Amino acid sequence: MDDKLDAIFSALADPTRRAILGRLANGKATVAELADPFELSQPAISKHLKVLEQAGLIRSGREANSRPRVLEPAALKTIADWIADYRRFWDQSFDRLDDYLSKVQGYEND
């Protein structure tokens, strides 16, 4: 599971890959369509797509001549769930904020 988080977070650490996901949020797209906005070679895009696919963030289809990609939301949920464990640290509605602030400001609490 740690490996899964590693792969997802590091896939998301690249702005090109995040932009690709953004495009796929509008629906499936071919490699050429995904490459279009970037000044990168086609193989560079294919590499990014492979990273995203191995992280489980997208899937490849098959359609005539092309291999369209679609978003795979489960992987995004995986890290959303991970982050949710920290939500109390910024969201007042978890109302542990006071405890947290006392720690940050160095008032002893152990």
Partner DNA sequence: TAGCTATATAACCGAATGGATATATTCTGT
Partner DNA sequence: ACAGAATATATCCATTCGGTTATATAGCTA
Task: Dump the DSSP string for 77-99.
Answer: HHHHHHHHTTGGGT-GGG--HHH
Residue 27 binding partner per list a copy of itself, DNA, none, with a CB distance cut-off of 5 to 8 Å that depends on partner kind: a copy of itself
For DNA, the closer CB: 40 or 84: 40
Could you tell me how many residues of this chain bind DNA (CB under 7 A)? 25
For a copy of itself, the closer CB: 31 or 76: 76
4 in contact with a copy of itself (CB under 8 A): no
64 in contact with DNA (CB under 7 A): yes
Residue 65 binding partner per list DNA, a copy of itself, none, with a CB distance cut-off of 5 to 8 Å that depends on partner kind: DNA
Residues in 20-59 that interact with DNA by CB under 7 A:
30-32, 39-44, 46-51
Assign 56 to helix, strand or coil: coil
CB of 57 to a copy of itself, least distance (A): 10
In whole angstroms, what is the distance from residue 19 CA to residue 57 CA? 13
Task: Dump the DSSP string for 4-30.
Answer: HHHHHHHHHTSHHHHHHHHHHTTS-B-
Q: What is the CA radius of gyration of the chain?
A: 19
